[in-house]
């Protein structure tokens, strides 16, 4: 296997939420495609230093706030790269194509309208996904579900997964129909923890699979919606999720949970080791809350997923 070329790349976000993309020169590797700005990391050079240097040279901006987002090894037929991707949400200067390259500010939802190198698929997911994923807990009535979801939306949650295992398919469909308009009004994604068949029948945008359902999934095309995620608990399940084309995963349990007292948890060190081997965005799940967001992201996670913290 050829040596990995270490590349620093940036998801640059402005105050309106737009993301900056640049077009690769036609005569370069993957020429003509769009990309997230950045460049090669020199030997012994800190990634943050390389990123700041490249963005100054390519775009004429000075980075003031950035954090690691995702690391992706990818193997093309002619070369292998390690994409070290950072989220840049603070910078001075006006971004422009300082080397003559076309650049464009795009809303996250419009990124699918552009052609990117294959290695960028997980970056596109990470750029569009929220830092917080709410998994619904118990509620006595549809009204209570709706009220709790509305509170979460009012508190800035923009990614919600409906998990209601006690409901039959008809009641689940009715509840989804009640909650979906609330989420749509706030620009939030409402996903479901359900079977592929049920999700396709509902026409959902996001389907989350249990690890058992992931094991029986034929391939990614079985689900017709936009986002497919899965629950993972170990390295083998992470590899399975990657092989089957899942967009992102939850990895649990990170810490001890109220719902499963006494069960062993990963801990942050083992969590970080598993995330480092994963090429997909990962949410920390199990005993975590808003207070753990920075720790999770330091470990390489997209963010945190939780029930009790926001329900």
The binding site for 8-oxo-dGTP comprises 24, 29, 35-38, 120
d(CA 296, CA 303): 6
Q: Which of 54, 77, 73 is nearest to 6 (CA)?
A: 73
Q: Are strands 38-40 and 206-209 parallel, antiparallel or unpaired?
A: unpaired
Two tokens at 187?
């620009």
The residues, ordered by sequence, that sit 6+ positions from 261 with a Cβ below 8 Å of its Cβ are none
Which position has the token pair 């990657």? 242
The residues, ordered by sequence, that sit 6+ positions from 73 with a Cβ below 8 Å of its Cβ are 4, 80, 81, 82, 83, 279
The CA-atom distances, in angstroms, between 43 and each of 5, 73, 304 are: 10, 17, 33
Phi/psi at 191 (nearest 5 deg)?
Answer: -105, 175
Two tokens at 41?
């990391």
Annotated binding site: 24, 29, 35-38, 58, 120
Annotated binding site for Mg(2+): 38, 58
């Amino acid at each position: 296997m050829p040596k990995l070329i270490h590349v620093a790349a940036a998801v640059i976000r402005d105050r309106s939420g737009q993301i900056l993309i640049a077009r690769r020169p036609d005569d370069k590797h993957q020429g003509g495609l769009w990309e997230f700005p950045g460049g090669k990391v020199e030997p012994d050079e800190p990634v943050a230093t390389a990123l700041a240097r490249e963005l100054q040279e390519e775009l004429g901006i000075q980075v003031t706030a950035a954090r690691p987002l995702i690391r992706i090894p990818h193997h093309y037929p002619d070369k292998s790269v390690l994409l070290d991707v950072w989220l840049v949400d603070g910078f001075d200067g006006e971004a422009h194509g300082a080397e003559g390259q076309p650049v464009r500010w795009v809303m996250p939802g419009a990124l699918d309208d552009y052609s990117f190198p294959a290695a960028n698929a997980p970056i596109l997911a990470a750029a569009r996904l929220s830092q917080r994923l709410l998994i619904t807990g118990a509620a006595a009535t549809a009204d209570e579900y709706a009220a709790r979801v509305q509170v979460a939306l009012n508190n800035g949650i923009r990614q919600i997964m409906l998990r209601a295992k006690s409901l039959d398919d008809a009641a689940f469909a009715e509840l989804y129909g009640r909650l979906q308009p609330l989420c749509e009004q706030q620009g939030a994604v409402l996903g479901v923890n359900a079977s592929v068949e049920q999700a396709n029948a509902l026409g959902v945008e996001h389907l989350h699979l249990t690890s058992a359902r992931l094991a029986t999934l034929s391939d990614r095309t079985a689900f017709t919606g936009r986002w497919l995620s899965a629950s993972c608990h170990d390295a083998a399940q992470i590899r399975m999720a990657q092989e089957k084309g899942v967009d992102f995963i939850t990895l649990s349990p990170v810490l001890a949970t109220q719902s499963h007292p006494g069960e062993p948890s990963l801990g942050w060190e083992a969590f970080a080791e598993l995330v480092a081997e994963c090429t997909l965005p990962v949410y920390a799940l199990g005993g975590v809350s808003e207070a753990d967001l920075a720790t999770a992201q330091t470990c390489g996670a997209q963010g945190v997923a939780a029930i009790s913290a926001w329900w």
